[in-house]
A and B are shown apart, each in its own frame.
Chain A
Amino acid sequence: MPEKIDAASSEIKHVGVFDFDTLLSTVSKWMKGQLYGYLEKKHKYTADERELEIKGDKKINEYVKLYLVVEVEVSELEDVEVIIDQKKEIKKRGKIRIGIEGKMELDWMKRFEKGFYGSVQKFYHEYIIKHRIGQWKDMIDKDVYELSRAIRGALEMEL
């Protein structure tokens, strides 16, 4: 029976000037670079708002999959003129919230079903691969942190 386990989550909020395209390409490049799939589940686009939900999954082996869910919400978006290296550029200013959630799925191929195999699976998780489950959880925690760093870099945030 598949089991989903929540791992680390992180939320980034930023108010200021940013480049939305750079942000999206950073997320996409990072996920592809780390061998996650990249799927835009939702994309809402209005004049001053954007809403986006990106899902990525990475197969560790035939039993374990890691998931990353990135939610981007932009509001109060407006064009501003910025001078960079004495050249005028049009950039976007607004409020942005990015939520990153890490998850892990065990038995994603549904090999263990209820009943006897369910008990075998419980034993397998509790006593045989318990330590490795911890290691996979650390892996997704690290990915959440690294992606959060990449996003903050793309938003040119201080930290």
Chain B
Amino acid sequence: MAEKTKVADGETIEYEGIFKLAKFVQSIKEWLEEKGYGWIEKDHLETIGPEGKYIEAKIEGEKKAADYAKQILKIKLTFENIKDKIVDFHGEKSRYAVGKAKIKIDAHVKTDFEKRWKEDKPAFYLLRLFFEKHIYSPYSKRLEDTVREDVNALKDHISNYLNLYKY
């Protein structure tokens, strides 16, 4: 049976102001792909209201660490009250978005994702417990640390892009 270990649970970055929407999302996509996580858009919603556009996208990226474990990042991007603004920057006009952005990050390590250790056989179940506790544990700890580092690096990347203060 596949088992999940949570590394990041709903870590959020919020921003309100001016930014280039498509470029911002593209930068996150490039970051994930550079780190070896794929980019799967599970859900994408766009509506227009009197306050502006509302956009919500759920992204999933996963990296196979070995045949036994996978690192998974889930990102939920929410943009609220998005309005277009044309900005004249050094004589060059370009289109920006003004509004609120919220980025929520979840991350976990999934072991036995191929479900080879089936639970219907008690001996297999015990063997898996023994394997995960005593043989695989240093390796899975290292994987969790790598995912933690990736989450921190992604948060830094987003903060840098949005020019947020860092403490």
Contact = CB atoms under 8 A, between A and B. Distances in A.
Interface stretch (A4-12, A35-43, A47-55, A70-78): A4-12
B46 A11 contact: no
Interface stretch (B5-13, B37-45, B130-138, B150-158): B37-45
Instruction: Report the interface size class on chain B.
Output: 10 to 19
Interface string A126-149: 000000000000100100110010
A136 B57 CA distance: 25
Interface in B17-76: 21-22, 25, 38-48, 53, 55, 57
Contact of B53 (A10, A12, A155, A158): A158
B44 A158 contact: no
A80 interface: no
Contacts, number: 53
A12 B47 contact: no
B44 A13 contact: yes
Contact of A141 (B38, B55, B97): B38
Interface of A: 8-16, 138, 141, 144-145, 148, 152, 155, 157-159
Contacts of B48: 15-16
The majority secondary structure among interface residues of chain B is strand
Contacts of B38: 138, 141
B105 interface: no
Contacts of A155: 46
B46 A16 contact: yes
B46 A8 contact: no
